Amino acid sequence: MTVDTQANDPALAPAARLDRFGRSERCVVYAGMRLALYAFLLKVDLDEGKRRLSKEVEARQQVEGYLIETRNLLTNSLREIEQLRRSWPGRKAIIRQPCPASRHCALSLDFRSSLLGRGWLPWINNTSDRYLTLVLVVRIPTLSTVKRFTLN
């Protein structure tokens, strides 16, 4: 055998140094590298979990704020409804607008109870010979919107 053959043959190579547990140094280094990589991956996963948790906490706080705001709006609306209920008579009311003596009032306004549910409906009667234009403005306090309707 030549010297080159002895160096390339693993059976004839000198024995690797072993630690007290019978492992080679190379095996210990690889195990340490694997352990460091595993610790790094765990840290990355933990950081991602913390980020997700903080986003969920922030979203929950926003939802709770919206819920509190909506409850306050609902409470205010219920108070307004109760005030209107107390001020509204429980029977059919006829409301006539006072007209000056020189002009004839062309409308009579009555209210009747709703047939399909609770509430009152206006009953507008045109007493003149001409067509009149009716402009109705409706306010929706829960949505903070105002709608305007024109009927010819």
15-57 pLDDT, tens digit each: 556 666 666 677 777 888 888 889 999 999 999 999 999 999 9
Is the model's pLDDT at 94 over the cut of 60?
A: no
Is the model's pLDDT at 118 over the cut of 70?
A: yes
Q: Which is more confident, 40 or 111?
A: 40
pLDDT score at 91: 47
Q: Six-digit token pair at 109?
A: 């306004």
Q: How far apart are CA 70 and CA 55, in angstroms?
A: 23
Mean pLDDT over each residue of the chain, to the nearest integer: 77
Q: Residues of 60-83 as b/e, b for ≥16 C-beta within 10 angstroms?
A: eeeeeeeeeeeeeeeeeeeeeeee
Backbone angles phi, psi at 101, to 5 degrees: -65, -25
State mean pLDDT over 114-140.
Answer: 80
State mean pLDDT over 90-103.
Answer: 52
Q: How far apart are CA 106 and CA 129, in angstroms?
A: 9
Percent of the chain with pLDDT over 70: 71
Q: Which long-range contacts (CB under 8 A, 24 or more apart) does 74-82 make?
A: 74/142, 76/141, 77/141, 77/142, 80/141
Q: Please, which pLDDT band fits residue 135 given cuts at 50, 70 and 90?
A: confident
Neighbouring CB atoms inside 10 A of 24's CB total 13
CA distances in angstroms from 124 to 7, 25, 95, 132, listed in the order given? 113, 100, 10, 11
CB 123 within 8 Å of CB 109: yes
Question: What tens digit of pLDDT does each residue of 51-79 get?
Answer: 999 999 999 999 999 999 999 999 998 88
CB 121 within 8 Å of CB 110: no
pTM of the model: 0.34
pLDDT score at 62: 93
99 CB-near residues (< 8 Å, 6+ apart): 105
